[in-house]
Amino acid sequence: MNQPSNNQQNTGTYEPANRMSQPPPVITAKDLAYLKDAMSWELLATKKCRMYAAFANDPAIRNQLDQTGQLHQNHYEQLLQLVMANPNQHYPQ
């Protein structure tokens, strides 16, 4: 049976040899699917906030719904920028 030498003893910690400090600047097909889902959710939330704000009689509630809708719109635009950041990358359909 092979026993590790004193220099190669297992310390109980895992240390990968080539750890990346940053993820690669690539959007995989799976990443793109997650981004598309998140964009759909943000867009739906924006539309719902705008619709409910139009029905609100209380100005404070209308204002809060408008602010929340704008927050979701900003999130949507941020996700869109991520997707569009690399226009030369070909995404599978």
Residue ranges covered by each domain of the chain: 25-84
Q: Is the pLDDT of residue 93 over 50?
A: no
The DSSP string of 58-72 is SHHHHHHHHHHHHHH
Q: Which amino acid is at 17?
A: A
Q: Tokens 């929340």 — which residue?
A: 68
The H-assigned helical ranges of the chain are 29-55, 59-84
Give the confidence band of 6 by pLDDT, cuts at 50, 70, 90.
Answer: low
Coil, helix or strand at residue 23: coil
Q: How far apart are CA 41 and CA 35, in angstroms?
A: 10
Segment 32-87, tens digit of pLDDT: 889 999 999 999 999 999 999 999 999 999 999 999 999 999 999 999 998 887 65
